[in-house]
Amino acid sequence: MSAIRRLGGFRFWSLIPFVVVAAVFGIYPFLRVVQMAFGHVSVRGGGMTFEWRGLENFHRALEDDLFHHSLAISGIFVVATTVISLVLGTALAILTDRATKMQNVARNVLVWPAIIAPVVVSVVWVLILNPQIGVLNQALSTLGLPEQGWLGDGVGAMAAIIAVDVWHWTPIVYLLIYSALKGIDSEVLEAASVDGANRSQTTRHVVIPMLLPAIAAAAVLRVVMGVKAFDEMYLLTRGGPGDSTTIISLLIRGIVFDEVDLGYGSAVSLVTIGIVLVMAVLIFAVRPILRRRA
Amino acid sequence: MKRTSWSSETLLVISMIIIAVPVIWLVITSFNAPREIISRGFEFSMSNYVRLFEGDSAIGAQIGNSLIIAVSTTVFTMAIAALAGYSLSSLGWSRTTTGILLGISALIQLIPPMTLVPGLYVVLQQFGILNSLPGLIILNVLFNLPFATLMLKVYFDALPDSIREAGLVDGASEQRVFWSLVLPLVKPGLAAVGIYVLIMAWNEFLMGLTMTTGGDQAPITVGIASLVQPQAITYGPMAALGSLTVVPIIILAIIANKQIVAGLTGGAVKG
Amino acid sequence: MGIQRRSLFKAGALGFGGLATGAVLSGCGNNEGSLGDDSQPTATGANGAVTAITVATATTPWLDGYKAIIAEYEKATGVKVTLRDFPFDGLQTQQVNAIQQQSNAFDVFQVNEGWVGQFYSQGWLRPLKEIDPDFAWDDGIADFDGLSRWDEERQSTSPDGEVVALPLNGNIHVLAYRKDIYDELGLTPPTTWDEAITNGKAAMEAGLSKYGYVTRGQGAPGGNSVTFDFSCVLHSYGAEWINDPGTDWTSSIATPEGEAAMAKYLELLEIGPANPQTIDQAAVIAAIQSGDALQGHMVVAVAPQFEDPDKSNVVGKIGYAEVPGGPKGPRPISGAWTFGVPTGLPDDRSKAALHFMQWITSKEAQTSWAQKGGVITRADVLDAIGDDQPQLAAMRDSLPDVHQGIRYPFGQAVLQSTEVNLNKIVAGQSGITDGLKAISDDIDAAVSKAGLGK
């Protein structure tokens, strides 16, 4: 009897801090966002009033060109950064695994960007991409090539923030894949080489299929990170030039803080969260299939 | 016996250069005179660093704030996450309960933090911890807790049930089993996840920007962003402050490389 | 049907209150914005007078000067002032948060020209006469085209409006030019855009300057970059974003005057750095500091950066003048800062805040600030200091011509369009006529959405 009571006691209180933090600081603010999304919140001198407006904000989101543009931009950003960092991360992991001399150094250096504050990453890249003082244009002019605007035109700026994000977060993919690689049973690989497969054949037909679950996990992570990306772009392009790099989190920031339209900002947030959820579910649905094939 | 593949080694070296050069350039720029930065020249100068700490600069206080936030966040997150992770892993919660809680964790991970800012502001104010370090610490705990819990649960899952059962049979209480028997076994996991949380908290920017009243109340990331001014050129001080925050963390990464690798990867791969 | 946000919170909080948080939450029942004040240094002395205030500000080039003047205020009055500085748009966020939650985190708000429409029209600042019935506008303070006064009926700043703020930093456009090169070529500072272009080309041909003129072409989302610098040319041709706020809400930028102004602006950019669409304020400053550019128009506050030998190659070589003009004469744009008292602040704190603001804008304080190179806001002090500080002398000469920036309640929507479309014109991605038409259409849409106009 007393053993059961003891168990019940610890069983509950071990979970309570987690539940309290998640509920009070996670779920409650989230419910506020849900509530605000269905109304018009105005901040006039003397505080904040909420007025029920039903689905109005969602209708507005359906018709808002800037939101659609921003979704498209985010879509491109998320797909490009996810795919490129998956390819590069996997390649780097395989290279590191093959390497003998450089293995230890590589495992160290290749992690650097992932541990640098996003704010600092933007500083790092301003010093590279800035058309006037950046090292990239300095290099071009030294080589006698024409200098570029980089962050100055829409396509260039988009390419630049994708490159920065890839630089920043490929190391995460690299680490995930690398540790999955370490987990592969070496007997499998030996068996393959006994069967006469050369190294690139082994990689293509044995190693990569076995890495697919890890790659899928990394993909989910990268998609979520892509949607949440904020700090670097906030300081690097502010969504510009024009609105060519206004990814969704920058759009929401503008609506909430520049236009102070909390109702609409919340609705846009909810729609975004919904899209992310659907995508995450889709990727997870594909995962078991990949695993079975592996 | 592995043979050395020179093409692999070369490609790796090139990759490392691409990864490292931007960081090295940051440090070089930080030692360049402001006058030369805009003229594309170089002249060794400490003036960017001197400028940072001139007058009643808030930088020192901000670095202090960031240290307090990072360390406290790590301690609280690890304590809460270890308890919750163990509870969900080993104490016989139903699949529904576990599923709901893990679902909430995943949801918190998915939400762009930007969207929660107005709601969080209200909550912090009601608790009287707006504009305070405890407020920032709680928010950092909130955003790191789901991941830490999921990760630690994976570590606890890997332990055989027989360890806990043996402890209980010997007459130890659940608390005692957790504290003295189980926790020491997941030390590598605690170290890995702890370092990860430490880095995330040190790097946090958005909450520091919106939930403090700035100046010497803010973390260092906000101090860096404050240098980006519409009406002044501050590339030099930006580089200097960037270097100041990056170099310690890279040194940490070199020392604790193994833990960081595990912290960044452990759970997701097994899961 | 308006529900108070606070009561909604209480309902929500009760729901979670059962979860071991009762003890913490129990403190929240009856607060009226007082809990958030715990960390505030605001305090009252024994006689009930406020002895400490918290002032919000942005990290700007003039922050150090502001600190020095505040130190003088503390010395003179014994009131402790806590100055909180934020990144430029972080300041807006902070102040919006504070007013939204009525947290009374700050006793004094600082409002940028670009936020004026929003802050004034939403009633976030308390009219100064409400705080002190005896408040009277001090005529020595420059008006900056009605910057501190809001006319509720016209939904616009106006010289007849109610005083809701005082100007804190009189940042307006001036022309910065290379005295040494102008002397060498025997030229005088330009009074028209055409002269500026001619002089610029002359300096380039003589091999004395890499760029003849430098000004912004970058579009900054949520900002006021190319719009601000272009406005200086636009208004000098007689075109207006909004013709007469309050009476005529139509735009006159898609007109021959607007197009002529745009064409002239492109000519200016042509003798500047390549890729003009990337030129932001920092690039403009850098082009002057490095010695590459002959001249350009920019806000007064950047001037000290040209005189710092650590940062600049052109120390002692820069002269200042009123900006060049078009057919309607020169039109320097106001990019000033005001400060005001947030709505909802208790009376004693509001009075203390107003006292602080009046002290900072007093003749004595402004004279002291001017001697330290501050971009002050009193016309009488500017008149008195003469030509000792060339940038302030240029500012003094410009005051009668100052034109307001974008101060409409829907200013954000206008800027969203102008920054994008002007940037496209500058980059050559759209023609002058099409680009200006797009802006004009967007302005019409913003006006009608705001329920103004007809």
CATH assignment at residue B123: 1.10.3720.10
Distance in angstroms (rounded) separating the CA atoms of residues C83 and C159:
30
Distance, CA of C25 to CA of C12 (rounded, Å): 11
The residues with which C173 forms a beta bridge, in sequence order, are C299
- Residue C125: strand, helix, or coil: strand
The reported pLDDT for the residue numbered C15 is: 31
Mean pLDDT of A48-72: 90
Number of domains into which chain B is organized: 1
Mean pLDDT confidence for B131-150: 92
Q: How many other CB atoms are there within 10 angstroms of residue B107's CB atom? A: 17
Q: Which two tokens stand for residue C206?
A: 């003589």
Domain assignment of residue B130, yes or no = yes
Query: pLDDT at position C392, please?
Result: 93
Q: Chain A neighbours among B 70-109 (CB < 8 Å)? A: 79-81, 83-84, 86-88, 91-93, 101, 104-109
Phi-psi region of C33 (alpha: psi -120 to 50; beta: other; left: phi over 0): left
Report which listed range, B181-190, B229-238, C401-410, is most confident: C401-410
- Tell me, what's the pLDDT at A8? 60
Structural domain for B141, as ranges: 57-230+246-270
CB–CB of B225 and C90 under 8 A?
Answer: yes
pTM: 0.84
Residue A275: is its pLDDT beyond 90?
no
pLDDT at C213: 98
Evaluate whether residue B36 is within a structural domain: no
At B123, is the pLDDT very low, low, confident or very high (cuts 50, 70, 90)?
confident
A139 lies within 8 A of chain B by CB:
no
Query: pLDDT band at A210, cuts 50/70/90?
Result: confident
Note whether B9 contacts A262, CB cutoff 8 Å. no
Q: Are C235 and C333 in contact (CB under 8 A)?
A: yes
The span from the CA of A140 to the CA of B40, in Å, is: 13
Give this complex's ipTM.
Answer: 0.84
- Burial of residue A177 (CB within 10 Å: 0-12, 13-18, 19+) is buried
Instruction: Give me the pLDDT at residue B138, please.
Output: 94
SS3 assignment, position C357:
helix
Inform me whether the pLDDT recorded for B267 exceeds 60: no
Q: How far is C154 from chain B (nearest CA, A)?
A: 31
Determine contact: B232 vs chain A, CB below 8 A: no
Residues within 8 A of B (CB atoms), C 275-294 only: 281-282, 285-286, 289-291
Cα→Cα distances C215→A40, B156, C144, C171, C296, Å: 40, 62, 22, 16, 6
Q: Please state, in angstroms and rounded to a whole number, the distance separating the CA atoms of residues A152 and A237.
A: 9
* Mean pLDDT of successive 10-residue stretches along chain C, which has 454 residues: 36 31 31 35 56 92 92 95 87 86 90 92 94 94 94 89 95 96 96 97 96 92 88 97 92 96 97 90 92 95 90 94 96 96 94 96 94 91 86 94 93 89 91 96 92 78
Label residues C423-441 b or e (16+ Cβ within 10 Å = b).
Answer: bbbbbeebebeebbbbbbe
Does the pLDDT value for residue A19 go beyond 60?
A: yes
Per-residue model confidence as pLDDT tens digits over A138-168: 888 888 888 877 777 778 889 999 999 999 9
Task: Go through the domains of chain C in sequence order and give each one's CATH number.
Answer: 36-171+335-400 (3.40.190.10), 173-333+410-449 (3.40.190.10)
Q: Does A49 touch chain C (CB under 8 A)?
A: yes
What is the percent of chain A where pLDDT is above 90? 23
**A-chain residues within 8 Å CB-CB of B142?**
21-22, 25-26
Dihedral sign for Cα atoms in the order A54, A57, A58, A59:
positive
Higher-confidence position of B252 and C134:
C134
- Domain membership of residue B141 (yes or no) is yes
CB atoms near residue A59 (< 10 Å): 12
Q: List the chains bordering chain A where 3 or more Cβ pairs fall under 8 Å.
A: B, C
Residue C422 CA, distance from chain mean position: 20
Residue B91 lies in a domain: yes
Give the residue ranges of DSSP H helices in chain A. 2-13, 16-22, 28-37, 56-63, 65-98, 103-109, 112-115, 118-129, 135-142, 154-183, 186-194, 199-202, 208-228, 231-236, 248-253, 262-293
Residue C215, helix vs strand vs coil: coil
- pLDDT value at position B1? 44
Rounded to the nearest angstrom, the gap between the alpha carbon of residue C322 and the centroid of all alpha carbons in its chain is 18
Can you give the pLDDT at residue C41?
Answer: 43
Q: Compute the residue count for chain C.
A: 454
Whether the Cβ atoms of residue B117 and residue B213 lie closer than 8 Å to each other: no
Q: What ranges in C271-399 are assigned the alpha helix state H?
A: 281-289, 347-360, 363-371, 379-385, 390-398
User: CB–CB of B175 and A10 under 8 A?
Assistant: yes
Q: Which residues of C touch B125 (CB under 8 A)?
A: 33, 35-36, 101, 103
**Domain boundaries, given as residue ranges, for chain A:** 68-293
Would you call the peptide bond into C273 cis, given omega within 30 degrees of 0 as the criterion? no
Element (H, E) at B71: helix B59-90
pLDDT tens, position by position, B201-227: 988 998 998 888 777 889 999 988 888
Which of C354 and A213 is assigned the larger pLDDT?
A: C354
Q: Is residue B238 part of a domain?
A: no
Sheet arrangement for strand C3-4: A39-44, A47-52, C3-4
CB atoms within 10 A of CB A289: 11
The CATH number of the structural domain formed by A68-293 is 1.10.3720.10
B109 pLDDT band, cuts 50/70/90, is: confident
Beta bridge partners, C298, equal: C174
What band does A47 get if pLDDT is binned at 50, 70 and 90? low
Nearest-angstrom CA–CA distance, C17 and C23? 9
Q: In what order do the strands lie in the sheet with C80-86?
A: C43-44, C50-58, C80-86
Q: Phi first, then psi: what are they for A172, rounded to 5°?
A: -65, -45
- Between the CA of residue C411 and those of C114, C156, C237, what are the distances in Å? 7, 11, 21
CA–CA distance, B162 with B179 (Å, rounded to integer): 16
d(CA C178, CA C180) in angstroms, rounded, equals 5
Give me the residues paired with residue C166 across strands.
C339
CA C216 to chain centre: 16
In the predicted model, is pLDDT for residue B179 greater than 70?
yes
DSSP 8-state symbol, C272: S
Q: Count of CB contacts below 8 A, B vs C?
A: 133
Task: Give me the pLDDT at residue C11, please.
Answer: 33
Q: pLDDT value at position C29?
A: 32
**Which residue among B79, B228, B269 sits closest to A217, beta carbon to beta carbon?**
B269
Mean pLDDT of A257-283: 85
**Does an H or E element contain C44, and which?**
strand C43-44
Whether residue B169 lies inside any domain: the answer is yes
Chains that touch B (3 or more CB pairs under 8 A): A, C
Q: How confident is the model at residue B247 (pLDDT cuts 50, 70, 90)?
A: confident
- Whether chain C has a CB inside 8 Å of the CB on A203: the answer is no
Between CA C180 and CA A206 the distance in angstroms is 73
Provide the mean pLDDT of chain B.
86
Q: Is residue B261 part of a domain?
A: yes
User: What is the rounded distance in angstroms from the CA atom of residue C173 to the CA atom of residue C179?
Assistant: 18
Residues within 8 A of B (CB atoms), C 164-183 only = 171
Residues 232-251 of A with CB under 8 A from C: 238-243, 246, 250
Rounded to the nearest angstrom, the minimum Cα separation between C60 and chain B is 7
